Every structure is written in C-alpha cells, then in structure tokens.
Amino acid sequence: MENKAMKALPDPPEEDDREEKVYGNVLAELESVDLPLGTTLRSVYDDQPNAHKRFMEKLDARIRNHDREIEKMCNFHHQGFVDAITELLKVRADAEKLMGQVTDTNQRLQEAGREVTTQTEEVIRCRIQQRNMATTVEKLQLCIPVLEMYSKLKEQLEFKRYYAALKTMEQLETFYIPRVSHYRFCQIMAETLPKLRDEIKDVSMSDLKDFLESIRKHSDKIGETAMRQAQQHRTFISAMQKQTSLGCTKPLYSLNGRTPTQHNGHDGEEGTEEEEAEEEVLTAHDLVDFSPVYRCLHIYTVLGDRETFENYYRKQRKKQARLVLQPQSNMHETVEGYRKYFNQIVGFFVVEDHILHATQGLVTRAFTDELWNMALSKIIAVLRTHSSYCDDPDLVLELKNMIVIFADTLQGYGFTVNRLFDLLFEIRDQYNETLLKKWASVFREIFEQDNYSPIPVETEEEYKSIVCRFPFHDADIEKQPFPKKLPMSHSVPQIYTQVKEFIYASLKFSESLHRSSTEIDDMLRKSTNLLLTRTLSGCLQNLIKKPHIGLTELVQIIINTTHLEQACKYLEEFITNITNVSPETIHTTRLYGLATFKDARHAAEGEIYTKLNQKIDEFIQLADYEWGMSESDGRASGYLMDLINFLRSTFQVFTHLPGKVAQTACMSACKHLASSLMQMLLDPDLKQISLGAIQQFNLDVIQCELFASSEPVPGFQGDTLQLAFIDLRQLLDLFMVWDWSTYLADYGQPSSKYLRVNPSTALALLEKVNRGMKDTSKKNNIFSQFRKNDRDKQRLIETVVKQLRSLVNGMSQHS
C-alpha cells in the first residue's frame, strides 16, 4: 500500500516545471494591458493553498529580472544622455537671445498690425452681418408672403368676405405655410386656421339664421308684389282679348326674372316715366338680399360640408312653411286676413323658386314639389274650414278672387294648382248658400214693403219704366187710357229684377274658373233653380202663412205668382244671352220656376180656403139663437146676413183669379157654412130645440140658398152651388113638414125625398125637439099632459124615435 502511494505522487522536477509554466503564463497575462486582471488573479487564488506565496515569489523574481534589464539599458545609454545635456546647455544662451529678438519683433509686428487687425475684424464682422442679412432677407422673402396672406385673411374676415377667406386659408395651408413650417409663428398660424374655419361656419350659419328670420318677415311683401303683378297680368290679358285692333303689350310680371306665362306680343310706343315705373319688372333680388344663402352655401361647399348645410336649410324651411301655413283664428272675418295669409304663402314659394333656380342643388324640384303638396293640403283644409264661417257673399267672392290670383301666381312658377280650382267649386256652393240667404232677406223685405194691390200707372213714362224692368205684355191693358192699373203688385218687377241680380252675382263667382260656357251656363241655371225652388218658394210659403195676410193679399199673391211664372221664359233667355249657350243643348238644365210658382199658388189657394172658413167660423161664433123660442122672427139672423154680405164682397175680389180657383173657394165656403150650421144643430151641449127655433134656423138656411143661387162666382152649372146645403134643406124640410111617415117609408130608396137625411142625425135632432116640446108644454099649462093632441104627438114622436133607433142599430150592425 505504501508503495502504491508513493507511485501516485509526481516526481519533484516535473512539478517544478509545471508551476514554472503556470506562473509564467500568469505573469505574461499581467504584463499584457489588454487582458482583464480579475480572471487572472482569480486563477491564482483558486489554485493550491500555498499558490499565493509561490506566486509572490515568482512575481518578485520577475521584478528583479526586469530591474536588471533596465539597469543594463541605462548604463548603455548614459554617455549619450550626458552629451546631449551638455550640448543643450550650450544652446540655452542662444535660445534666450533668440527669444528676446522674437519677442521684440513680435511687439513691433503687433504694433504695426494692430490697425490692420482692427480693420480685418471690422471686415469680418461686416461680412458676417452681410451674410446674416442675406440669410434674413432670404428667409423673409419666404415669410412675408405668408404674413401678407394671413393679413389678407384677417382683412377678409373683418369685411365678412368669408368665401374669399376660405380660399386664402386653402392657399396658406397648401402653398405658403409648408415652405416655412419650421418657424414657430407658422405653427401658430397652422393651429389657428381650423379655429377660423369653425368661426366662419358659425358666423355664416348665424347670417343664414338672420336671413331666414328676415325672409319670414318679408314674405308678406314678396307675396303681395307677386300677386299684384299677377292681377295686373290678368287684367292686361283680359283687355287684350277684348281689343279688336293691334295694341301694345306690357312686360309680363316676374319676381325671379322669369315670366310665369309665355306670351307673344308687339312692342308698343314709349310711355311716360310713370308708366315705365308701373311696368318695371321686379325680381326677388329687388326685395330680398339672398347673399347670406349664397355665401353660406359656398362656405359649406368649400369646407366639404355641403350636405349638412342643405339638410339644415331644408329642415328650417319646412318649419317655416308650417308656421306660414298656420292661419290666424279670426282670418275669416276680414278680406285682409285672407290676403295676408295668401301673401305669406306666395312669398314663401317665390323665395323657394328663386333658390331653386339660383343655386345648384340647395333645393330640388322634388323637394319644392313635396313642400308644395304638403302646403296645398294644409291650405285647402284651412280654406275649407274658414270659408265655412263666412256668411257674407261679398267676402266669399273676394276670397274666390284671391284664390284665383293665388293659384295663377303659383301656377306661373310651376306649381300644380288643380286642387285649388276643385276647392273653388266647393266654395262656389257655399257662395251660393250665402247668396240664397242674402236674397232671402231681400225677398222678405220686398214682400213686407209690398201693398198687395195692382200697380197704378199715371203716365206713359211710368208704364215704360215698369215694362223695362219686367216683361209685361197685355194688349187690352195697353189699349186702356191713362191712368190705369197693372194686375200685379210692386213686388213682381222687384222680384224679377232681384232674380236677375242674383244671376249676375252668381256669374261673378263663375268667372276666371277656367270653365267652358256650357259649364258656366249649367252653374247659373242650377243656382237660379235653387233660388226659385228653395229661397223664393220658402219666402212665398212663409208669406202666405203669415197671420196678417188677408184674403185680398192672398188673391194678389196668386196673381203675382201667375205673372212671375209667365216671366220664367224670359229668365231662360237672359241666362242664354249671358252664356251664349243655346237652350236646345242636350245637357242644358231647365229652370224650375213654373213648379215653384205653381206650388206657391196652390198654397195661396189653400190658405184662401182656410181663411174663408176661419172667417165663416168667426161669424158663426156670433150666432145667438134663442133655441126655446115659440115662433121665428120672420127674418133671417143678423150674423148670417153679415156673413153673406162678406162673402159677396170677397167673391167680387176673386174676379181676377182664375175661374177654377174662385169656384173652388166659393164651393168650399158654402160647404163649410153648411157643415158649421149642421154642427150647430147637432151640438151635444144643445139639449133641446123648439120648433120656433127650427123655423128661424130655416129662414137662415133659405138666405144661404138664395146666396148660392145668386151665382156669386160665375161658372157654376145649374144649382151646383145650392147642393152644398142639400143636407140641411132635407133635414129642415123633414121637421118643418113633419113628414116622418114618408121618410120612414122611403128610407133607403134612391128616389126618397129625404135621401140625404141620416137616421142618426134625424134621431139626434128629434130628441132635442122632443125635449123642447116637453119643456114648452110644462111652461104653458101645468095640465098639458092631459091634452089629447099633445099626447098623440108625444106618442108619435116616441114611435118615430123607436123606429129611428132601430134604423141606426141596423146600420151599425150592417157596418
């Protein structure tokens, strides 16, 4: 084991050689200035424990070796160093002398060159300044245009030339500022320009808002001018159509430099200055400054925000349109209310038309058409509502004329107005209604002022005056000498004249409606028919029903309606002359005046019958019979004679009536008189009647029969009028003759003498007579029941009563 350990240890010489080699490398590394020392020294200390000591020994040995080499080298060069020092010392004195000379020469040179140096420094400074100035000028030449453009920009903004200012900004940004962008002021400019753009947008938008507010205030004036020029143009065209010779033509009206209607004409002679002023053509630019709109449009176009501007403008104009279309609540009360409403609307759309043609796409035809259609619907609704409140035909006519001018004005600017003319047809019906109301009051006033008596004519002039107003022709009356009377009353020519005035008034509304003569003729005839069949007919019916209208007035009304009926054909001719439409045209409407006046005449006739009966009733109420009288007075009653006298005088007035009317009235009066007398006898409140009262009643009936036989109204055949009293006559004869046997025997026979006497009527009267006889007998003699004649008569009456009752019962069972 020990031998093996010995073999593992290296030989001492080999170990020394290895250490020598290692430390040699370390020292070589230390001597090298390029290698780091940390790693080398770490390798020394990381080795064997005594390596540091041995390294220090090797380091000392190496130092000593280098010292020996330095010493050898110094000894080798020492003699040369000594010789050099010796020689240097010899040169030292010469060097000091040379230094003095050089110093002196330098001083002299400095003294001599000081002025040159000064001038040279001045030259250098000047050249530096010159160079700086040239550089500055060069830079200024680049900056001055920028500053000039910016100054120009400020000036343009100050004078509100915003469009030019935007162009200047664009030049600054694209051309000028990039050339000097490294300067601070240019950077500030570049940062300021977007803000200026926003300010320009805000200012231009503010100007636009001011313009929109201003245009709303000026729309009234613009519309007024446009509609006035439209009216002048219509008047001019109407005058030209009436001229038969060539004449000068006036310039057509225009608000936007365009004529609403193309018209060819000849140039006339030069007029006066006033005429030229009146004929001057006004444009929208003459009334409104549109520059804010153009300016704002250009600004937003340059800024690339045109769509925003267009949307804003259209939105605001729609709002303004709704405000313009909103009428005042009392607009219907005056013409000025409608005029202001139309002026504002026309002004609004004239402005839109100008904007449409003066700008490129700010508003489009589709937009204006949409706006107009919306406005048209609102206008029609407003006019339909407010016109319904108008009850003055003159105001409705003014409204119609304004609507026509309004429609023609806007039609000239390319807007469709057919619906407005359709609305006029609705308003025409309302206009006719207001006319009918007005003429109803006119007719009522005429009827109230009429005296309902024939018109007295004193002279030829008076006669011609009446005939000129009313188509009256009667050969017999014309042959009569003056003074004379016309059969109708004053209301007839007045009514006829007013009907013609109504036709004229109705025609005024039909003018300018762009309708054919046939349509106008149809309108006139229909409105005239309404006047006759509704208004005049209603007034006549109300007149006839008035309580203060007596029989004389009713007779005159019948005569008046007869003449008015005959005049209807002249009204037909009157309308034909106005419209130039032949009455033979297939679709021509006929006048219904004949039926109107016939109905009024029939109503008057019926009222005559009614009033006659009422008058008869009044006389009947004056009757004061003494139903218990023993014998008659021997003469007719006073009330009945007064009644007959009244009827005679009344029927004399009926001589001017048609024969059938007078005969019907006479027959109706007689029948009513007979019926009233019969009801008087059969009155349930009348319990008893004496034979003397029957005799007195018979005398009154005889007077009635005498009146009927006297032919109070001509035309009756035979005793036709007397037949009205036949029922009374047979009944009274039965009681006067006391012919009950004949009555009962012949009852039901066509040849019966008392055919018209009804059993129930005879029974009722007989019972009253029976009670009267009983009461009379009691008063005359207390022992009357013992008289044989009275007892026989009483038994006869009882027998007749029984038989009459059996007849009445048989009739009731049979029925």
- How many helices (DSSP H) and strands (DSSP E) are in the chain? 28, 2
Bridge-partner residues for 486, per DSSP? 455
Question: Fold identical between 436-604 and 623-812?
Answer: no
User: Does residue 409 sit in helix, strand or coil?
Assistant: helix
What are the structural domain ranges in the chain?
Answer: 183-239+285-415, 436-604, 623-812
336: left (phi > 0), else alpha (psi -120 to 50), else beta? alpha
CA distance 629 to 87: 214
10-residue mean pLDDT series, the chain (815 residues): 41 61 72 64 65 79 88 86 85 86 89 86 92 88 85 85 83 83 84 85 83 80 83 75 47 41 38 42 68 82 84 87 84 82 86 84 86 89 83 84 86 86 83 88 90 87 87 82 86 90 86 76 84 86 85 84 85 83 62 74 83 88 86 85 89 74 86 91 88 89 89 80 88 88 86 88 86 71 53 77 83 64
Nearest partner of 397 among 506, 292, 262, judged by Cα: 506
Bridge-partner residues for 455, per DSSP? 486
Which residues contact residue 804 at a Cβ distance below 8 angstroms, ignoring those fewer than 6 apart? Answer: 759, 762, 763, 766
Cα–Cα separations (whole angstroms), residue 255 to 252, 282, 353, 370, 407: 10, 5, 10, 22, 16
For residues 396 and 428, is the Cβ–Cβ distance under 8 A?
A: no
Nearest partner of 761 among 793, 721, 734, judged by Cα: 734
CATH of segment(s) 623-812: 1.20.58.670
What's the length of the chain? 815
For residues 535 and 597, is the Cβ–Cβ distance under 8 A?
A: no
CA distance 212 to 179: 43
CA distance 518 to 523: 9
Cα–Cα separations (whole angstroms), residue 720 to 278, 585, 717, 734: 84, 49, 6, 22
For residues 509 and 400, is the Cβ–Cβ distance under 8 A?
A: yes
Q: Looking at the structure, give the CATH architecture of the domain made up of residues 436-604.
A: Orthogonal Bundle (1.10)
Measure CA 695 to chain center: 82
Cα–Cα separations (whole angstroms), residue 624 to 617, 638, 697: 14, 10, 11
Query: Between β-strands 455-457 and 484-486, what pairing exists: parallel, antiparallel or unpaired?
Result: antiparallel
Nearest partner of 763 among 815, 733, 700, 806, judged by Cα: 806
What does the angle CA 43 – CA 49 – CA 54 come to, to the nearest 5 degrees? 75
For residues 390 and 430, is the Cβ–Cβ distance under 8 A?
A: yes
CA distance 432 to 509: 9
Query: For the CA atoms of 612, 613, 618, 619, what is the dihedral angle to 10 degrees?
Result: 80
Which residues contact residue 62 at a Cβ distance below 8 angstroms, ignoring those fewer than 6 apart? Answer: 27
Q: Environment class of residue 164 by beta-carbon count within 10 Å: exposed (0-12), middle (13-18) or buried (19+)?
A: middle
CA distance 602 to 42: 155
Query: For the CA atoms of 12, 17, 21, 26, what is the dihedral angle to 10 degrees?
Result: 40
Cα–Cα separations (whole angstroms), residue 724 to 518, 701, 709, 756: 56, 11, 11, 11
Q: Which amino acid is at 245?
A: S
CA distance 644 to 619: 10
CA distance 375 to 407: 13
CA distance 256 to 350: 8
Q: Environment class of residue 681 by beta-carbon count within 10 Å: exposed (0-12), middle (13-18) or buried (19+)?
A: buried
172 DSSP 8-state letter: I
CB count within 10 Å of CB 218 equals: 17
For residues 325 and 379, is the Cβ–Cβ distance under 8 A?
A: yes
What does the angle CA 543 – CA 544 – CA 546 come to, to the nearest 5 degrees? 65
Please give the sequence-ordered ranges of beta strands (E in DSSP) within 289-434, or none if there are none. Answer: none
CA distance 731 to 721: 18
CA distance 486 to 488: 6
Question: How many CA atoms lie within 13 Å of 602's alpha carbon, on the beta-carbon side?
Answer: 7
b/e sequence 376-386, b meaning 16+ C-beta within 10 Å: bebbeebbeeb
Q: Which amino acid is at 758?
A: N
Which residues contact residue 684 at a Cβ distance below 8 angstroms, ignoring those fewer than 6 apart? Answer: none
What is the crossing angle of helices 12-31 and 51-158, to 10°? Answer: 30
Q: Environment class of residue 401 by beta-carbon count within 10 Å: exposed (0-12), middle (13-18) or buried (19+)?
A: middle
CA distance 279 to 354: 21
CA distance 505 to 530: 14
Q: What is the DSSP string of 279-346?
A: HPPP-HHHH---HHHHHHHHHHHHTT-HHHHHHHHHHHHHHHHHHHT---TTGGG-HHHHHHHHHHHH
Nearest partner of 282 among 239, 342, 240, 227, judged by Cα: 227
Q: What six digits make up the tokens of 794?
A: 């009483």
State the Rg of the chain over Cα.
68
CA distance 569 to 590: 10
In the chain, what is the straight-line distance between the N-terminal and C-terminal CA atoms, in Å?
Answer: 183
CB count within 10 Å of CB 297 equals: 23
